[in-house]
Amino acid sequence: MGKTPVDYDLFAIFVAVADESSFTRAARKLGIGKGTVSRAIAALEESAGAELVHRTTHQVSLSTAGIALYERTAPHLVALGVALSKLPERAELPSGELRLTAPHDFGAIWLPELLAQFSLRCPQVTFDVRLTNARVDLVAEGFDLAIRVASSQLKDSTLTARRLGAIAMAYYAAPSYLARRGEPRGFGDLRHDWAVFPPMLRGAPKGFRPRIRSDDFLLLRELLREGAGVGPLPTFVAEPYAASGRLKLVLPGERRRVGAYFLVYPSSGPVPRKVTAFRDFAVERVKTRPLDAGW
């Protein structure tokens, strides 16, 4: 069996003792107790199997083994300190690669503006973006944050969540479809063809079967625009087409809020500056252009 790896902190304390020639001054330099320093040196000596420090009443000095260990460890500790100080996350401005994931609709409609504007504010941040409607394990797949939909506050204790805004759902159809088939009397009107996001079926009448089901609101929007039927869309997805006349709002009395978008990131460990900067920026930008526009 191999030896148990020695704690990095023991080497840092040993080097401080060697530099200061004193347990007391080393403790003061490191901001720890003298007893902690003494115990650390004893533990390191036990691990090394040799006396590293000669102790006298007024000062300490290194043994032959201690000198050899100091010469081999001190330069590496200095190099590690320099490396840590130069990590992108320690820089004054946010920097480094920000890996994020978002649903297709939010990614296509909202992310371009957010990323472009954030890049102007924080030019040292780069992005790796994955658009998917699947739930991604952020830690396992190495993502910094995600945009997610939930019907209420997210309850995953491993994630920290910030609410971006409510999602409003309304019903739309192309003018050409309505000219042929007329307007529906309600959601699930069996006289009409429906294009539906599957979770919406929970509120449908018994026996209702849509003509088209899809988990992608962008696809559903294009199908409705082409006259394939009637269907529910988030208002922020439909709004550009409704404003231009390519889609028409139907069943206005059945509009409702169905949940919210949240920005989530892992709870464990310190939150990188690039994540907090993007989080705060996204929250403020969405306030100026609500996700439930058109409600």
Q: Which residues pair with 262 in a beta bridge?
A: 148, 163
Which H or E element spans position 248? Answer: strand 248-250
Mean pLDDT of the chain: 86
pLDDT for the residue numbered 127: 94
Kindly state whether residues 117 and 17 are assigned to the same domain: no
In a domain, 139, yes or no: yes
In a domain, 274, yes or no: yes
pLDDT for the residue numbered 1: 38
pLDDT for the residue numbered 294: 57
For the stretch 188-213, pLDDT in tens is: 888 999 999 888 877 777 778 899 99
pLDDT for the residue numbered 237: 93
Question: Among the three residues 86, 103, 124, which one is the final residue of a domain in this structure?
Answer: 86
In a domain, 121, yes or no: yes
In the predicted model, residues of the chain with pLDDT beneath 50 are 1-4
Kindly state whether residues 63 and 198 are assigned to the same domain: no
In a domain, 25, yes or no: yes
Q: Which among 107, 118, 221 is positioned nearest to 174, based on CA atoms?
A: 221
Kindly state whether residues 43 and 158 are assigned to the same domain: no
Q: Which amino acid, one-letter code, is at 1?
A: M
In a domain, 15, yes or no: yes
How many domains, in total, are found in the chain? 2
Output DSSP code: residue 194. B
- Measured CA angle at 76 (ends 73, 77), to 5 deg: 85
**pTM surpassing 0.85?**
no
For the stretch 13-28, pLDDT in tens is: 888 888 888 888 888 8
In a domain, 289, yes or no: yes
Question: Among the three residues 28, 52, 86, which one is the final residue of a domain in this structure?
Answer: 86
For the stretch 123-150, pLDDT in tens is: 999 999 999 988 899 988 999 999 998 8
Kindly state whether residues 180 and 247 are assigned to the same domain: yes
Kindly state whether residues 81 and 117 are assigned to the same domain: no
Kindly state whether residues 115 and 228 are assigned to the same domain: yes
Kindly state whether residues 98 and 152 are assigned to the same domain: yes
Question: Among the three residues 37, 71, 86, which one is the final residue of a domain in this structure?
Answer: 86
pLDDT for the residue numbered 180: 95
Q: Are 160 and 266 in contact (CB under 8 A)?
A: yes
Kindly state whether residues 244 and 161 are assigned to the same domain: yes
Kindly state whether residues 59 and 150 are assigned to the same domain: no
Looking at residue 190, which CATH number applies to its domain?
A: 3.40.190.290
Q: Which among 226, 212, 218 is positioned nearest to 174, based on CA atoms?
A: 226
In a domain, 3, yes or no: no
Kindly state whether residues 103 and 202 are assigned to the same domain: yes
Q: What is the residue range of 30's domain? A: 8-86
Which H or E element spans position 102? Answer: strand 96-102
How far is residue 169's CA from residue 203's CA, in Å, rounded to a whole number? 13
In a domain, 1, yes or no: no
